[in-house]
């Protein structure tokens, strides 16, 4: 989904300021082999949180060598029963492969049609760009998946956090009307997220 690169590579200078769509390149003379390798996905993510899942990102912010190349990856760890909650990526389609465990993977289209399947190790899925999707660990033990994106910065709109924990908060009137519930339900949801 990202624009095509105009040179072999453009390792991001994340500290550079300036108005560009992306990040400026660090000088080629300062570029080393280390810029093209990344071990941030080698460690298991900490799943001790309300969702029981952790997404570890390898996008341009974590791995500057990806800058302008139009690709990124994530590692997603799941405790038993863990959920990578409904979210969407505004700038990328996603493909993924289950490495360990059993995941219910689903997405919903713009016409509110839900597609899903339970996957185990070695099986793949694809999430079309921008559509709301999730993965739920439905196996006995922990689960692990790796995902890949056609953007160096896919972005992630995590619906429960976006709607209930924004800064500043959305007006109660918006949420009570949108979900057809009373304010105490909205406050109950917020309190679970520490808001």
Among residues 10 and 72, whose Cβ is nearest to ligand GLV? Answer: 72
Among residues 49 and 191, whose Cβ is nearest to ligand GLV? Answer: 49
Quick note: the x/- pattern for Mn ion over 36-75, rule CB under 5 A, is ----------------------------------------
Tell me the closest approach of the beta carbon of residue 147 to ligand GLV, in angstroms.
4
Pairing of strands 143-149, 72-78: antiparallel
Task: Please answer whether residues 81 and 137 qualify as being in contact, where contact means their C-beta atoms are separated by less than 8 angstroms.
Answer: yes
Kindly give the interhelix angle for 183-192 and 172-179, rounded to the nearest 10 degrees. 100
Q: What is the DSSP letter of 178?
A: H
Identify residues 147-186 at the interface with ligand GLV (CB under 6 A).
147
Tell me how far CA of residue 142 lies from CA of 54, 78, 157, in angstroms: 12, 6, 25
Instruction: Decide which of ligand GLV, Mn ion, none touches 56; Cβ closer than 5 to 8 Å per partner kind.
Output: none
Residue whose structure tokens are 């996957």: 119
Radius of gyration of the chain (CA): 19
Is 76 among the residues that bind ligand GLV (CB under 6 A)?
Answer: yes
Among residues 25 and 96, whose Cβ is nearest to Mn ion? Answer: 96
Query: Which residues contact ligand GLV by CB under 6 A?
Result: 55, 74, 76, 84, 94, 133, 135, 147
């Amino acid at each position: 989904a990202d624009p095509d690169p105009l040179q072999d590579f453009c390792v991001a200078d994340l500290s550079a300021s300036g108005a560009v769509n992306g990040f400026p390149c660090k000088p080629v003379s300062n570029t080393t082999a280390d810029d093209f390798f990344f071990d941030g996905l080698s460690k298991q993510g900490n799943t001790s949180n309300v969702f029981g899942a952790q997404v570890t990102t390898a996008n341009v912010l974590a791995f500057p060598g990806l800058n302008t190349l139009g690709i990124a990856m994530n590692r997603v760890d799941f405790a038993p029963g863990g959920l990578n909650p409904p979210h969407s990526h505004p700038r990328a389609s996603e493909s993924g492969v289950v490495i360990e465990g059993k995941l219910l993977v689903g997405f919903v289209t713009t016409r509110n049609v839900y597609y899903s399947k339970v996957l185990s190790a070695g099986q793949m899925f694809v999430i079309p760009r921008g559509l709301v999707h999730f993965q739920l660990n439905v196996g006995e033990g922990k689960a692990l998946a790796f995902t890949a994106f056609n953007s160096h910065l896919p972005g992630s709109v995590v619906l429960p956090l976006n709607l209930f924990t924004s800064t500043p908060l959305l007006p109660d009137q918006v949420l009570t009307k949108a979900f057809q519930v009373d304010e105490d339900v909205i406050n109950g949801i917020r309190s679970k997220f520490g808001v």
